[in-house]
Amino acid sequence: MTRRIALILLVLVVAACAPAPGRPTPVPTVSPTAQVEQSPWWREAVFYEVFVRSFYDSNGDGIGDFNGITEKLDYLNDGDPATKNDLGITGIWLMPINPSPSYHGYDVTNYYAVNPQYGSMADFKRLLGEAHKRGIRVIFDLVLNHTSSRHPFFQDALRGPSSKYYNWYIWSDTSAGNTWHQVAGDPPRYYYGLFCDCMPDLNYANPEVTAQMENVVRFWLEDVGVDGFRVDAAKHLFEEGSKTENVPETHAWYKANFYPVYKAINPQAYSVGEVYGAGATMVRSYTGDQLDQVFNFEMASGFVNSAAGGSNTGVNSAMKFALADMPGFDFATFLTNHDQNRVMSVLNGNADRAKVAASLLLTSPGTPFIYYGEEIGMQGKKPDEDIRLPMQWSAAENAGFTTGQPWRKPDAAFAQVNVASEANDPGSLLSHYRELLALREAHPALRSNGLWLVETGNPALYASLRVQNGDMILVLVNLGKLPIADYSLALTKSPLSPGQYTARTLMGPGGPATLEVDANGGFKTSSIIPALAPYATYILELGK
């Protein structure tokens, strides 16, 4: 447990049932349970996290918008598997799109509308349709835990107990700490807002609140046609005394009032929960009958720590915890997100280490999420506004993000770090991401939940075996700045049948090599590749 806590803490250091027109054809299901058993679409998806305000401005007002994302969809996935100049993602997570008084949108004032700064509902539906034509699913941030203090419900609740919305929020006659916020009046009253006074928590002990949020879910799935939700602050719905996260009532609410509701509306709808700091054990406590997946922060920490430190300890530890606690790897993976310093900044701007981090993420099980700009090496450190800066499209003025005055000035490095400068450079970070995603799409083993860690005899080398039916992939990643010749790959047991295999390189230098597999599916070799180049990724296809 001490090791697990330490690994999680390192994140802070380093870190309707019928589809809408144009929607990708869903896999037939007969029940939510059957859907899970049939390996649903999100188990093989790759998501791209977008802050709408910062992605692309189509009208010159300095704020990114829905039409801007639509214009850039071909960059993400043009829908043609034969082309190689798109990123190849198959899902988009949009950070909050509801009306809000804040720049970030996590304090919602209307759950049934879109932020007018981002465009109209018609613009959003056009984005959905164009994304679906390209095989891209779209989810967005569903903020269940709280509303904005400017939401009409809360404004009415301020009148006191006579308001029909008073008990939609949590009140006290006394203050119990800095999460309780006073309102004017005699006697004084206090409302509970975990994150700030601008975000009063909803009272889910009141069935009217639950009914309202069920209507919100139905509206977005049936009337609008989104493919699911990223559930913000998922662990905080209920409190139990001083305990404000992961209490039994929260789990019970998702199980009774969320999962069965959205699955009844659309069995193909997907939810992924933010349970900050979660490792495989906590992920498992939410997955299956409460949320489809939860972000695994422990895994993210392992990827980034190994890329930053040049040692396989971080990633191997995270993998071993997952293999012990949730061997199906049914969770979402990532490097960093909109609440953390960008991974490129954590890695001190080292593009080689960024390639290593990408390789660990995209050759591992789980559903990967890529934070916008991560694929080109955008940097950013707290405050939050500076890890959510405009996307760097080109070396043109304002990074090609807008023809107007941007809502926030782009990072100064945009002249060198941008999509246009990396798109046709085979050695760029963007090209590395594209190649990894193309291989992941082409090889079922890289999208499967099967992983066998391979001992390497060298802490600077990470190795794994991925197998799905007849597709067999061996992954080697040199985490360090020096070549590696002194290593020995060893695995005691795997699904491989005994015999001699040819290892053909799909990624990385080197010609074919042979691998002898014993009766247990194990092997031991030090000659598959004579010397592994610094920071290099080798993806090898095994065939008899």
Catalytic residues: 232, 274
Half-sphere exposure of 411 (CA within 13 A, CB side): 28
Measure the CA dihedral 349/351/356/359, to 10°: 120
Q: Is the peptide bond before 187 cis (omega within 30 degrees of 0)?
A: yes
State residue 268 phi and psi, 5-degree precision: -90, -5
Encoding tokens for residue 229? 């939700």
Q: Where are the alpha helices (DSSP H) in 310-428?
A: 313-325, 343-346, 351-362, 419-423
Distance CA 544, CA 516 (A): 10
Distance between CA 225 and CA 131 in Å, rounded? 12
Q: How far apart are CA 358 and CA 378, in angstroms?
A: 14
CA atoms within 13 A of residue 89's CA, in its CB half-sphere: 25
CA atoms within 13 A on the CB side of 497: 6
Q: What share of the chain is helix, strand, coil (3-state, %, to 5)?
A: 35, 20, 50
Give the integer Cα–Cα distance in Å for 373 and 447.
23
Taking the C-alpha atoms of residue 279 and residue 319, their distance in angstroms, rounded to an integer, is: 11
Q: What does the alpha-carbon distance between residue 257 and residue 246 come to, in Å, rounded to a whole number?
A: 16
Strand (E) or helix (H) holding 48? strand 47-50
Question: Do the Cβ atoms of 9 and 275 come closer than 8 Å?
Answer: no
- CB neighbour list of residue 512: distance below 8 Å, 6 or more residues apart: 502, 503, 504, 505
Check if the beta carbon of residue 98 is closer than 8 Å to that of residue 110: yes
Cα-based distances in Å from 466 to 102, 473, 521: 44, 5, 13
Q: Residue 137's beta-bridge partner residues?
A: 91
CA distance 302 to 312: 9
Distance CA 330, CA 284 (A): 8
Q: Nearest to residue 103, comparing CAs of 312, 386, 349?
A: 386
CB atoms within 10 A of CB 37: 10
* Tokens read off for 146: 């709280």
